[in-house]
């Protein structure tokens, strides 16, 4: 209890969502959301021109999935504190593209459960309950859907997990964490959901003589507008109560200058680790590294936490991505550190990119870890299907053998192999020149032992 109170005390001063209702309604007026509404209206019009019903239905389903991906994107960015489209991070997480399918699956499962329950209560002969109570059952189900659906959507956006979202405990957790304001959120969302059809009917009555070809596009425009408003509102609710929900935000509005997302996440992860909440720290780190894919500290922090989660396959897969990122940023020392750590987890660990192998070998040579450099270079040929990097890897291996390890004979063998296999490659001319140098140095080294 004290810990929760402490989090509340240190939470940033964020305006409550009910004070920002006008901002939610005006959010679709920004150029990006407004263009999305117009595009959906255009797609809806094109769908009306399709004669085949199943093709039209498929096109409508694809449009719906794209709209859901877009509004989930708005929700995710808003929940992190980016309250206008101009502030949104340009990075998209591929894992979140599946959120519409996961939402459909959750709703389908619970729809099937509800159907089975209705059949068990009213479908038997004789029915378990009087049939006259069926409207009451339907009303209760609809009320529960209206009450639980916001929590389902918010949990799915936070966790990106179908297994977690399908569990009612996750919904209850969100409802309990937000408290009474959750009822206000449900009320606003219910009113918004009900307002769309009413507005559309009003527009239809105003333009009854203008034909019906514009009705479907208008419905698409209005539906997308209200979906953006509702998901923006739910995202802001996650932002407002992030300290209660264990959700990572990227800026601290109302609490001084905005912080870099990685800086804020580092603080929250440290707080979770100090409190003994390793799963919570790992969840935050996973969420941040998906968003900040090019932020080396965030990726490294996630790698370190993965090592405590007893999932070696996930740890090694992330190690490969982290090594590639470190090499691209010129941090060969960090790439070597991660590589060595991965080899302690699995001695058979290897990279999956020939270019990364070459760059890591260069970093290892610079760090005077010559044996490691040669080991990494051996992996270039199996990974380089086109053979573009093999000559370069052979020449680098020969240089390490001759210049650093003084194994001239082994270097000469590699150089001869390179010249024979790749006679016309640009690297081969450099290999020929280097072979002359090795032969010269070998001859000089042999002279003191020779006799006339």
179: left (phi over 0), alpha (psi -120 to 50) or beta: left
User: Residue holding tokens 């240190």?
Assistant: 10
Q: Please identify, in words, the CATH class of the domain defined by 353-445.
A: mainly alpha
Quickly state the pLDDT bin for 146 (edges 50, 70, 90): confident
Give me the torsion for CA of 153, 159, 165, 169, rounded to 10°: -110
Per-residue model confidence (pLDDT) at position 312: 84
Q: Does the structure show a pLDDT above 70 at 20?
A: yes
Please check the confidence at residue 446 and state whether its pLDDT lies above 50: no
What's the pLDDT band for 288 if we cut at 50, 70, 90?
Answer: confident
Residues of the chain with CATH 1.25.40.10: 353-445
pLDDT value of residue 204:
64
Residue 343 CA, chain-centre distance (Å), reads 27
Question: Region 163-183: what's the mean pLDDT?
Answer: 85
Instruction: Tell me how long the chain is.
Output: 452
- Residues 373-391: b if buried by 16+ CB within 10 A, e if exposed: bbebbebbeebbeeeebbb
**Confidence at 264, pLDDT banded by 50, 70, 90:** low
**Is a pLDDT exceeding 50 seen at residue 389?**
yes
pLDDT per residue over 412-431, tens digit each?
888 888 899 888 888 888 88
pLDDT, residue 91, reads: 58
pLDDT digits (tens, 9 = 90+) for 345-385: 998 999 988 899 999 999 999 889 999 999 999 999 888 87
- The alpha carbons of the chain give a radius of gyration, in whole angstroms, of 31
What is the structure's pLDDT at 439? 80
């Amino acid at each position: 209890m004290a810990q929760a109170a402490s989090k509340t005390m240190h939470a940033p001063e964020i305006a409550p969502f009910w004070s920002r209702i006008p901002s939610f309604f005006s959010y679709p007026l920004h150029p990006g959301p407004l263009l999305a509404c117009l595009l959906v209206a255009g797609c809806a019009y094109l769908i009306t021109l399709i004669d085949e019903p199943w093709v039209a239905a498929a096109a409508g389903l694809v449009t719906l999935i794209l709209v859901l991906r877009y509004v989930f994107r708005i929700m995710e960015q808003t929940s992190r504190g980016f309250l206008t489209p101009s502030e949104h991070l340009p990075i998209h997480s591929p894992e979140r593209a599946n959120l519409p399918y996961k939402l459909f699956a959750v709703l389908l499962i619970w729809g099937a459960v509800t159907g089975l329950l209705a059949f068990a209560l009213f479908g038997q002969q004789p029915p378990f309950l009087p049939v006259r109570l069926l409207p009451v059952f339907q009303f209760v189900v609809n009320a529960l859907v209206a009450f639980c659906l916001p929590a389902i959507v918010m949990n799915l956006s936070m966790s990106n997990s179908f297994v977690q979202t399908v569990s009612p405990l996750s919904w209850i957790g969100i409802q309990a964490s937000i408290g009474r304001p959750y009822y206000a959120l449900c009320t606003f969302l219910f009113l918004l959901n009900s307002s769309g059809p009413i507005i559309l009917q009003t527009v239809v009555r105003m333009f009854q003589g203008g034909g019906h070809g514009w009705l479907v596009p208008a419905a698409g425009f209005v539906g997308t507008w209200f979906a953006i408003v509702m998901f923006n509102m739910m995202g802001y609710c996650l932002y407002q109560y992030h300290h209660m929900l264990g959700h990572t935000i990227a800026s601290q509005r109302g609490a001084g200058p905005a912080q870099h997302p990685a800086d804020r996440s580092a603080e929250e992860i440290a707080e979770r680790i100090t409190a003994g909440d390793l799963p919570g720290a790992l969840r935050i780190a996973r969420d941040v590294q998906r968003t900040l894919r090019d932020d080396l500290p965030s990726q490294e922090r996630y790698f370190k936490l993965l090592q405590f989660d007893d999932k070696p396959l996930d740890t090694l897969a992330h190690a490969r991505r982290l090594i590639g990122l470190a090499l691209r940023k010129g941090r060969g020392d960090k790439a070597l550190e991660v590589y060595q750590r991965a080899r302690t987890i699995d001695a058979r660990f290897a990279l999956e990119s020939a270019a990364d192998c070459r760059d890591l070998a260069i970093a290892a040579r610079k760090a005077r870890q010559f044996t490691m450099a040669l080991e990494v270079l051996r992996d270039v040929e199996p990974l380089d299907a086109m053979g573009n990097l093999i000559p370069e890897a052979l020449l680098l291996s020969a240089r390490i053998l001759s210049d650093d390890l003084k194994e001239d004979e082994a270097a000469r063998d590699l150089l001869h192999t390179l010249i024979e296999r790749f006679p016309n490659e640009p690297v081969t001319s450099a290999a020929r020149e280097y072979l002359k140098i090795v032969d010269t140095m070998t001859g000089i080294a042999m002279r003191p032992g020779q006799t006339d």
